[in-house]
Amino acid sequence: MTEIRDCPGPDPDPRPPAMAMPPLACDTHFHVFDAARYPYQAVRGYTPPDNDVNRLLAFHDALGIARGVVVQASVHGTDNRAVLDAASAHPDRLRAIVAVSEGVTEAEIAAMHARGARGIRVNLVDKGGMPFRSLDALADVAEVIRPFGWHVELLVHVEEKPAQLRTLAEAMRLPVSVGHIGYTKVARGGIAHPGYQDFLAMLRDGLFWVKLTGLYRISAEAAFPYSDTASFARAVIAAAPERVIWGSDWPHVAHFDKPMPNDGDMLGLLADWEPDAAMRAMILCSNPARLYGF
């Protein structure tokens, strides 16, 4: 039986980012945990420490972040209470991405939409208890969520099956985002990997959105600044700046046995990847406002 490891917590003192933050900046990827209120399922890949919505909002205030998108974590399976309670309690500030079963109904989507949900997460890599069997199983669910203006957020290694990803995105006829800049590890060849080059082509063709998240999940370096990931960030911004968004990945679950990065330092990397303040404002503000309906 695979050991379920306890996660370390985030750095409790985020430094101010090395750039001016634009109004209505948005963190599009983080999780909230409160085990007493929202228990974890037995089938999971890790056990996180409590970091509830109040701690999340204090973290955002420290960084100058006005909006956020709380993403369903695999430890909760399809029990979306944690993300829906957070988003519905702060409707001007938060949106939610939920996890659903393949048989989800229009009525269930409508109820979650009213509480701030704007998309579904399909985690095919670090599944824990996520229920989707494959990318092909998304077709029917796409029909259910399309009338609500929702999108699909994928956690996949984009370099592995680029042809299947292209077919999926073209068939679904709704926005599709991918996390961790595509989740292609530097050790797999980085942006030079032919599959990642195919992904960049799909970005240029308008088929995907991409999140600037989880640098430590793809870097070959043990600690900040994860300089070997800068080429990924610059490549996706060059390919589709109007469909790039940023996320903290707070509180950095399953980041084991390596130094915990400071979130202000991580956010400040955006100024290095994109020196133009107007472009950064698009990535931090207007792009997420369009995708998440702020």
Active-site annotation, residues = 249
Closest listed residue to residue 235, CA positions, set 278, 187, 186: 186
Residue where the block lists tokens 């985020």 = 14
Distance CA 79, CA 100 (A): 9
Q: Which helix (H) or strand (E) holds 69?
A: strand 67-71
Partners of 117 in the beta sheet?
96
Q: Which two tokens stand for residue 66?
A: 């006005």
Q: Say if CB 211 and CB 180 are below 8 A apart.
A: yes
Closest listed residue to residue 214, CA positions, set 178, 165, 189, 176: 178
Q: Say if CB 151 and CB 291 are below 8 A apart.
A: yes
Partners of 212 in the beta sheet?
246
CA distances from 5 to 2, 37, 38, 76, 244 (A): 9, 21, 18, 16, 32
CA distances from 76 to 36, 71, 99, 262 (A): 13, 11, 9, 26
Residue where the block lists tokens 């088929």 = 207
Closest listed residue to residue 33, CA positions, set 182, 279, 253, 225: 253
